[in-house]
Amino acid sequence: MRSLLKGLDALPGSSADLILAAWSIFLSNSLFDDLADVPVSPGLSHSLVDHTNDVVHLGRLIGAGYRDLDMPAFEPEVLDLILYLHDIDKLLLFQPGPALGTTERSPLSRKIPHGVLAGLLLNELGACESVINVVATHSTDAPFHNESTEALILHYADMAAIDAIKLREGQRPFFQIN
Ligand SMILES: [Fe+2]
Ligand SMILES: [Fe+2]
């Protein structure tokens, strides 16, 4: 797992430990054998860990850009945790499909909204409140969103990353005129 998630060695030890613990708990409770086989979404081939690496990369770039604008300050350590952890509950919201190599939504995904399970686990693991709040409400269809700078950065990094992959894999992006 450490080799799949890029850049963990450059993080403070406590952040890397929290990220690895959370990913490991979700993976060991999932129906997947290999993290590299879990897609970012059923029907896409791009993996969840590669998507996470994309969002970390883009989020840091947006964060650097936001420092040049008159944006409320954000904590880089908090932002990094949010970027690495935002989608971990997909490991339980998805499951292997009936055909080899396919993935489908799990029954759990119809019982609890994306982000909430991750927030619950991060609370148990002692993550700070701003990480929990942003991860739990980051989904585009969440009933409300956290209004912190970290939440805004995650949103645009996440959308930029997923739309690039959707276009690359021949799907319609979330960004549409109509
Ligand atoms: Fe998400
Ligand atoms: Fe995401």
Each residue's pLDDT expressed in tens, for the chain with a length of 178 residues: 889 999 999 999 999 999 999 999 999 999 999 999 999 999 999 999 999 999 999 999 999 999 999 889 999 999 999 999 999 999 999 999 999 999 999 999 999 999 999 999 999 999 999 999 999 999 999 999 999 999 999 999 999 999 999 999 999 999 976 6
| CA 161 – ligand 2 centroid, Å | 8
For the chain, the structural domain boundaries read: 8-168
State which residues have CB under 5 angstroms from ligand 1, the bound ion. 87
State which residues have CB under 5 angstroms from ligand 2, the bound ion. 87, 158
Q: Residue 88 class from Cβ within 10 Å (0-12 exposed, 13-18 middle, 19+ buried)?
A: buried
| CA 56 – ligand 1 centroid, Å | 13
The closest of 126, 49, 57 to 85, measured between CA atoms, is: 49
Domain 8-168 has what CATH class? Answer: mainly alpha
CA distance 144 to 136: 10
| CA 88 – ligand 1 centroid, Å | 8
Please tell me the predicted confidence (pLDDT) of residue 177. Answer: 66
Structure tokens that stand for 38 in this block: 């879990």
Q: Show the beta-strand stretches assigned E in the chain.
A: 94-96, 103-105
| CA 53 – ligand 2 centroid, Å | 10
CA distance 37 to 46: 9
Structure tokens that stand for 90 in this block: 């997909």
pTM of the model: 0.96
| CA 51 – ligand 2 centroid, Å | 7
Long-range Cβ pairs for the range 170-173 (8 Å, 24+): 171/43, 171/44
